[in-house]
Amino acid sequence: MDELIKRAARDLAAAKNVAALTGAGISVESGIPPFRGKGGLWEKIDPMEYAHIDAFMRDPAKVWQVLIKEMKDIIDTARPNPAHTSLVRLEKMGKMGTIITQNVDGFHQMAGSTDVIEFHGNFAWQRCIDCDRRLETGKVDMSEIPPRCECGGIYRPECIFFGELIPPEHLARSQMVASQCDVLLVMGTSALVQPAAYIPVIAKEAGATVIEINPEPTPLTGSVSDYLIMGKAGEVADQIVAELERLL
């Protein structure tokens, strides 16, 4: 693995425009459970019953009680880990440009990254469905479920529910970022969920070096990614940036 760490550092040192695609795997190290896969949230609850926009509009109290309240409790106490802070270090070195994330925890911004495209929105902020007032999730008054805005409207997280579309401007900008970067870091994503899974393909076809950091191979491995560094995203990213700092 040491040679791959050094190879990644060399690729980053030579790069002028680095982007990243991140998934649930990087936030698992902060204690945020994934939605899919073994131990994921969808093993416990039916996403169509609790995570579809129709379910929320039909019975917001039920969705808040079972899904959103639990996510709020986790995000209130969890914090970014070295996977997030390593990308901030890359940005401060003038290497990291845009981060495209599938995560909804807001940890990239909390860690200090300044250019983040949130494919699926986030749970870090709530928005009133009547007046559009925004409030940080940690400041929501939970004495009433569902919590309500001063205007009387119900708060909902700024995430994308099932049944809602990814904002087209996010998709378009993500595709542009992928087509213009010369290195794409793919971190903690299974590369199974579209359209995010196609971002590395766009980067590869445009000539970028695609570096995959995951605990196990994915559909990208051996076909799209130039190489895979197997391990926890935080540990691997921290080692890569430390080696890059040494090189520079």
- Active site amino acids: 120
With contact defined as beta carbons under 8 Å apart, do 179 and 200 qualify? no
Short-list 30, 17, 185, 13, CA closest to 101: 185
CA-to-CA dists, residue 229 to 24, 158, 203, 214, angstroms: 17, 33, 18, 7
With contact defined as beta carbons under 8 Å apart, do 19 and 176 qualify? no
With contact defined as beta carbons under 8 Å apart, do 202 and 179 qualify? yes
User: Tokens for 145?
Assistant: 């479920």
Residue indicated by tokens 């860690």? 111
User: Tokens for 133?
Assistant: 């007032």
Question: Collapsing DSSP states into helix, strand and coil, what is residue 90?
Answer: helix
With contact defined as beta carbons under 8 Å apart, do 104 and 156 qualify? no
